[in-house]
Amino acid sequence: MMEPTRVIGSDEVGRVAFGCWRMTDPDVEFNANLVERAVELGMNLIDQADVYGFDWGGAGFGACEEMLGRVFAARRGLRERVVLASKGGIRPGIPYDSSAAYLTAACEASLSRLGVDVIDLYQIHRPDSFTHPAEVAEAMISLRSRGLVREFGVSNHTVSQTRALQTHLPFPLATTQPQYSVAHLDPLYDGTLDLCNESGLVPLAWSPLAGGRVMRAEGLRKEVIEVLDELTVREGVGRDAIAVAFVLHHPSRPVAIVGTQNVAHLESVAAAVNVNLSRADLYRIIEASTGERLP
């Protein structure tokens, strides 16, 4: 059995996290029940972003953060049970802005929408090529010194972008958030997971079920689905748990962020932490995904 938690700053988080990019149902009770069940299943890292709600049928920019704030208000003590992560730096119409002034304002706005005094982990959502990393670091240092953010990370950043930012910070970045799944293997080869092994960054894998395509068997090579389904029989879990287990088995020890809005699916994918995949299993999945035999 794999180790059940990771540490981000001083907080332990489960190996599977709950993502809120689809938290667009207007029913507070529904969302509160979903978040509470996720936490009960060990998914205590809750991943947000200010742009969530701008799509997926949401009410607009900031809508998902606002909903989570209402959930916290409705369920006393829930905020204290979670490690709260959010992201900023996407500015619709721009589209990216990591200037110190904007990141500071974006973080302050997220705090207000969430109804909290501090965000445990704040990440730069997408790299802004026209802001010097020293200016991004300036915003991070200020937000931390003011006690508004505990830890910082990056999302969708290259290795060189991550390293450039780190050189301007007096404290280590805690996380990097790449897209990683059986259908998207780039972090294995672009240096992202190697950097995590080197530096101790915690990788937070987004879309570990390829946006649900793993479950729908849509847009993936049929050989991938065949291997996953063969392993479901052996392991006695669902295809979702096998796919997430693939992500979790990398030695950099990723945390997989799942965004299902269905409690039964949450319970199914939570079984991933108990799945044992051999090295042969993992390479079979890779070969099925790429359609190429490894040398």
Residues noted as catalytic: 52
Backbone φ, ψ for residue 180 (5° rounding)? -155, 125
Q: Are 219 and 210 in contact (CB under 8 A)?
A: yes
In 107-240 the beta strands, taken as DSSP E runs, fall at 119-124, 149-155, 175-177, 202-206
- As a whole number of angstroms, the distance between CA 236 and CA 201 comes to 32
Q: Which two tokens stand for residue 100?
A: 């110190």
Q: How would you class 109 by CB atoms within 10 Å of its CB: exposed for 0-12, middle for 13-18, buried for 19 or more?
A: middle
Q: What is the 3-state secondary structure (H, E, C) of 213-229?
A: HHHHCCCCCHHHHHHHH
**H/E element, 255:** strand 255-258
Half-sphere exposure of 97 (CA within 13 A, CB side): 15
The β-bridge relationship of strands 119-124 and 83-88 is: parallel
Alpha helices, DSSP H only, in 46-99?
A: 63-74, 78-81
